[in-house]
């Protein structure tokens, strides 16, 4: 240990400071600062600090452990530094239900932000204020002209004050568990002209958010339904550079889709999308889907490489495999969940007739995963159709964990062995209940 400290002493200040900055955690930096005068000086020059209540307050008794404890620590340390670029201040109350008014004072937060306003680039602020909006905090954030990355957790984003500054450099904005209304989100996005990445996780208060974001490439509405109880009715996005969209618990999505490459939808969404000419990956999962919405998206996605349909449908009806997939000439990988497979399966005979008339070839298809619950002849004929149309197929995985012992399934295993004999180049793997083997 002494040896290590000895070598630390010969390092030039700039390097020693870099090492201290790598420590991040405020208590470690503080401990180092106590070692000697030089370290004390160096500790003021760190560019990264993390204040984490779980670590800083762990030894305190519950009743003494509140936001103002952390507030004191942050104030003492942060105001001595010069040049913080990366700052994380997170206070997670552990007492449930939360103590009312146990959050940082807005003036304090403003003082911290003002202190770092010329250098701050990344900020994570977890401040469990759910009582009242804090507009001054936002004003001070817009004063941080180098801010590129912002994650706010908890709290209330109000209608923004008139003529605030702008987030000129802000590229990433993540909001977790925030109460924010449609108009506030719209203004916030407008204030960030180069925003690329917007993520809202379990935020409340949004109904029909709509915004224009010229540089936005990634949009995510994640939701933990335990927290946000009402789904968002409609998301309308005008974002001509958008590449990836991931939504959960949104009822309708309105966008043009021209540049979209990845689309992931959890829980039913009514897509109001004009075209998806460059979509590569479509992942649909969750409850309450309308089958029409799914087939519509697949038809739009002419360049799909990866398709995953893991959804449950309100009303199932037969779908012909060929009519649905034959345009997907770039398809490499497909995952067909239980409900969707059932729709293909019930179309069985009709599908075969269609097949004779329009031979389908999916030249790039390499991986197929299907989830089946009934191994009847129609199931096998869907599998045959898939094998026939995919000359490049390497892997067929069948999840039959829900297969029951029944007459329908008696022939299933021997039919499957037959398939494996006919397509020796394909690795067929089967997962099924032990009792059936």
Ligand X SMILES: *[C@@H]1O[C@H](CO)[C@@H](O)[C@H](O)[C@H]1NC(C)=O
- Site residues, ligand X (CB under 6 A): 114, 117, 143, 145
**Cβ atoms of residues 208 and 236 within 8 Å:** yes
Min. distance of Cβ 150 from ligand X in angstroms?
A: 16
Min. distance of Cβ 142 from ligand X in angstroms?
A: 8
The token pair that represents 253 in the structure block: 């999505």
Q: Please report, to the nearest 10 degrees, the dihedral formed by the alpha carbons of residues 80, 82, 87, 90 taken in order.
A: 10
Which residue stretches of 135-206 are H helix?
135-143, 182-190
Closer to ligand X by CB, 119 or 151: give it: 119
Min. distance of Cβ 163 from ligand X in angstroms?
A: 14
Min. distance of Cβ 162 from ligand X in angstroms?
A: 17
Determine the Cα angle at 84 with ends 184 and 168, to 5°.
35
**Cβ atoms of residues 153 and 124 within 8 Å:** yes
Closer to ligand X by CB, 141 or 403: give it: 141
403: left (phi > 0), else alpha (psi -120 to 50), else beta?
Answer: beta
User: Whose CB is nearest to ligand X?
Assistant: 143
Min. distance of Cβ 76 from ligand X in angstroms?
A: 17
- Tokens 């399966």, located at residue: 345
Closer to ligand X by CB, 147 or 365: give it: 147
Closer to ligand X by CB, 143 or 190: give it: 143
Min. distance of Cβ 81 from ligand X in angstroms?
A: 13
Determine the Cα angle at 73 with ends 72 and 79, to 5°.
90
The token pair that represents 427 in the structure block: 């690795």
**Beta partners for residue 87, in sequence order:** 49, 123
Closer to ligand X by CB, 169 or 346: give it: 169
* C-alpha span between 296 and 282 (Å, rounded): 12
Strands (E), 11-72: 48-52
* C-alpha span between 190 and 155 (Å, rounded): 20
Min. distance of Cβ 198 from ligand X in angstroms?
A: 24
- Tokens 């990836």, located at residue: 244
Closer to ligand X by CB, 117 or 186: give it: 117
Closer to ligand X by CB, 102 or 168: give it: 168
CA 75, chain centre distance (Å): 33
Residue 312 parent element (H or E): strand 306-313
Min. distance of Cβ 143 from ligand X in angstroms?
A: 3
**Cβ atoms of residues 394 and 365 within 8 Å:** no
Determine the Cα angle at 275 with ends 347 and 269, to 5°.
65
Closer to ligand X by CB, 125 or 383: give it: 125
Closest Cα to residue 176, out of 134, 126, 130, 101?
126
CA 268, chain centre distance (Å): 17
Closest Cα to residue 167, out of 189, 183, 184, 134?
189
Min. distance of Cβ 117 from ligand X in angstroms?
A: 4
Closer to ligand X by CB, 141 or 380: give it: 141
Min. distance of Cβ 140 from ligand X in angstroms?
A: 8
Closer to ligand X by CB, 93 or 165: give it: 165
Determine the Cα angle at 379 with ends 289 and 266, to 5°.
20
């Amino acid at each position: 240990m002494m040896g290590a400290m000895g070598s630390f002493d010969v390092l030039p200040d700039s390097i020693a400071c870099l090492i201290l900055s790598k420590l991040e955690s405020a208590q470690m930096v503080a401990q180092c600062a106590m070692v000697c005068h030089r370290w004390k000086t160096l500790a003021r020059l760190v560019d990264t600090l993390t204040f984490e209540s779980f670590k800083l307050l762990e030894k305190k008794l519950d009743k003494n452990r509140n936001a103002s404890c952390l507030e004191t620590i942050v104030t003492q340390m942060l105001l001595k530094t010069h040049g913080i670029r990366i700052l994380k201040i997170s206070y997670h109350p552990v007492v449930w239900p939360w103590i009312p008014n146990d959050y940082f004072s807005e003036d304090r937060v403003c003082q911290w932000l003002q202190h770092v306003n010329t250098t701050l680039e990344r900020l994570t602020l977890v401040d469990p204020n759910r009582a009242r909006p804090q507009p001054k905090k936002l004003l001070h954030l817009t004063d941080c002209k180098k801010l590129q990355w912002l994650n706010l957790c908890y709290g209330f984003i109000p209608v923004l004050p008139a003529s605030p500054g702008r987030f000129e450099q802000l590229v990433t904005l993540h909001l977790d568990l925030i109460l924010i209304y449609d108009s506030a989100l719209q203004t916030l996005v407008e204030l960030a002209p180069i925003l690329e990445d917007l993520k809202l996780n379990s935020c409340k208060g949004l109904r029909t958010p709509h915004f224009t974001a010229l540089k936005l490439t990634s949009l995510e509405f994640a939701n933990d339904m335990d927290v946000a109880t009402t789904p968002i009715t409609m998301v309308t996005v005008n974002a001509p550079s958008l590449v990836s969209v991931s939504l959960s618990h949104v009822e309708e999505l309105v966008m043009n889709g021209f540049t979209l490459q990845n689309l992931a939808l959890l829980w039913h969404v009514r897509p109001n999308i004009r075209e998806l000419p460059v979509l590569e990956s479509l992942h649909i999962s969750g409850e309450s889907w309308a089958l029409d919405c799914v087939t519509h998206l697949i038809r739009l996605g002419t360049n799909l490489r990866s398709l995953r349909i893991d959804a449950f449908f309100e009303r199932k009806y037969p779908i012909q495999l060929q009519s649905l997939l034959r345009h997907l000439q770039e398809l490499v990988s497909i995952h067909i969940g239980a409900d969707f497979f059932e729709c293909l399966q019930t179309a069985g005979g009709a599908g075969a007739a269609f097949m004779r008339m329009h031979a389908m070839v999916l030249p790039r298809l390499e991986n197929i995963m299907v989830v089946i619950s009934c191994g009847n002849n129609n199931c096998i004929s869907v599998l045959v159709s898939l094998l026939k149309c995919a000359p490049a197929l390497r892997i067929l995985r069948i999840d039959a964990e829900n297969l029951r012992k029944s007459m329908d399934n008696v022939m299933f295993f021997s039919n499957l062995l037959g398939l494996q004999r006919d397509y020796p180049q394909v690795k067929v793997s089967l997962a099924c209940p032990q009792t059936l083997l």
